[in-house]
Amino acid sequence: MNTCQYLEKEHGFEVTYLPVDGEGLIRPQDLAASLRPDTILVSLMFANNEIGTVEPIEELGALCREKGVLFHTDAVQAAGKVPFDVKSWPVDMLSISGHKLCAPKGMGALYIRRGTRLHPLLQGGSHEKNRRAGTENVAGAVALGTACELAGKETKAEEARVRALRDRLEKGLLDRIPFVRINGSVSRRLSNTLNLSFECVEGESLVLALDQAGFTLHRADLPGIAASTGSACASGILEPSHVLAAIGVPPQLVHGSVRFSLGHFNTEADVDVALDVVPAVVERLRTLSPLWEDKLASSPPLPQAS
Amino acid sequence: MYSAHVMDHFQNPRNAGDLPGANAVGSAGNPSCGDVLRLYLKIENGRVAQASFKTFGCGAAIATSSILTEMVKGKTVEELRAVTNAQVVEALGGLPPFKAHCSVLAEDALRSALADYSSGNGAG
């Protein structure tokens, strides 16, 4: 989105930003209605990094193709988790990033359908068919290729394994903790993502307390389940998650949101730890929270936690 | 990001919870902004005999609330009026710059409690 804002501000492009529904899904009719005779490009996220919602890319891409509009999708989050085939899909461009596939950081790839003409990204030498000047990082490219090859072989089994862990984490947390909301789409969601809002608790304090309890934060490549928050209080930016706001999560619940990300290195034991630690931390912070006191005073008795 | 002192007050908050018999109760913040601080004071013979807090907010908000309850204990009403957010930050050994508003919240809650005390709402 920052790139679109740059194009608007510095180069005079007009950009239409599509709304999403309560699960974060783009409605095909909204995309169809937004296309203008002078629309040159549609760029959509394949899967959202915060809530894991997987967009119906085939359907949306077909719509663009029908209207003769170039279609790009950002598959950085989806690659290695959702199988796809650029040859049979109606996409003109698709980007992936190496570090999400356990390839070295700094590597990425842009798939460009044959016949799609692009201006050079960097001026200079004739590398990469005049599109990107500079000596190629051959070792990095080979590493990314190998990572993709492995992902292609393992995606299906690994996706099922991680999904089972995520589902157990989700069910376990919902069973143990009252007043929790799942953010995003339950039916169309990346296998590794769980985004929850805990009422009456602020996300930065929750993540901080999880960190103190031995959780590994922001690092899906290390043991432990990564946790991060969409609350504004977590960073110097002080802007709460625009993704959660876009799907209609009330501000207080945006502040109480935590994204748990699982990965290749997570095991059942990590889920066991999370099911012990997260409910205890939420309970401690709720005991401190004046909102929780008010909530209990105005709510019927809590269901017995199992 | 936080100093050891801030983390200590976050992990082991002092004087957390309700305060039966509090006669000066103040609050500051807003749930939709991500922080709400409620401060309870029991003022006897013109001095703070007991203080406690409840806070919904980030680690810095909880730590500032906790240290505030320690700072105000034993102070006279006049001395309470002189407490500033800068003193709260200093007592914590500093806060990241973008967390300064948490200390402002603490000062606001204290002002709110003093106003409540003056109006006599919580007296008794």
**Can you give the residue range of the structural domain that contains B41?**
4-119
The token duo for B53 is 């807090």
Cross-chain residue pair A251–B55, CB shorter than 8 Å: no
* Set A4, A102, A148, A233: catalytic member: A233
In a domain, B124, yes or no: no
Q: Could you tell me the pLDDT band of residue A287, with boundaries at 50, 70 and 90?
A: very high
Give B25→chain A minimum CA distance, Å.
12
Q: Could you tell me the pLDDT band of residue B122, with boundaries at 50, 70 and 90?
A: very low
In a domain, B89, yes or no: yes
Q: Could you tell me the pLDDT band of residue A303, with boundaries at 50, 70 and 90?
A: low
Domain count, chain B: 1
pLDDT 10s digits, A72-129:
999 999 998 898 999 999 999 999 999 888 899 999 999 999 999 888 888 888 888 8
Element (H, E) at A96: strand A93-97
Secondary structure string (H, E, C) spanning B77-99: HHHHHCCCHHHHHHHCCCCCHHH
Find the CB nearest B54 among A209, A251, A290. Answer: A290
Specify the residue for token string 């029908």.
A66
Return the ∠ at Cα A157 (arms to A155 and A161), rounded to 5°: 110
Average pLDDT over residues B82-94: 94
Same domain, A64 and A175: no
CATH code of the domain covering residue B84 = 3.90.1010.10
Residues of B in contact with A289 (CB under 8 A): 36, 54-56
Domain count, chain A: 2
In a domain, A304, yes or no: no
ipTM of the prediction greater than 0.95, yes or no: no
Q: How far apart are CA A268 and CA B3, in angstroms?
A: 34
C-alpha to C-alpha distances, A163 to A76, A103, A191, A279, nearest whole angstrom = 18, 22, 4, 21
**Residue-level pLDDT at A228:** 87
Percent of chain A whose predicted confidence (pLDDT) is above 70: 93
pLDDT 10s digits, A203-256:
999 999 998 887 765 444 455 788 888 776 665 556 789 999 999 999 999 999
Q: How far apart are CA A243 and CA A254, in angstroms?
A: 9
In a domain, B29, yes or no: yes
**Residue-level pLDDT at A128:** 87
**Can you give the residue range of the structural domain that contains A68?**
2-150
CB A192 within 8 A of CB A48: no
Find the CB nearest A252 among B13, B16, B31. Answer: B31
Site from A198, A200, A202, A229 to mutate, B interface, most B CB atoms within 10 angstroms: A202
CB A48 within 8 A of CB A94: no
**Residue-level pLDDT at B123:** 47
Q: Last residue of some domain: A117, A150, A183?
A: A150
Percent of chain A whose predicted confidence (pLDDT) is above 90: 72
Active-site residues of B, by number, are 33, 102
In a domain, A144, yes or no: yes
CATH code of the domain covering residue A290 = 3.90.1150.10
Q: For the whole model, what pTM was predicted?
A: 0.90
Find the CB nearest A291 among B7, B10, B56. Answer: B56
In a domain, A306, yes or no: no
Same domain, A37 and A119: yes
Give A257→chain B minimum CA distance, Å.
11
CA torsion through residues A130, A136, A140, A145, sign: positive
Q: Which residues contact B43 (CB under 8 A, 6 or more apart)?
A: B23, B24, B49, B77, B117
DSSP H helices, A112-137, are: 127-130
In a domain, A127, yes or no: yes
Site from A207, A212, A233 to mutate, B interface, most B CB atoms within 10 angstroms: A233
CB B66 within 8 A of CB B15: yes
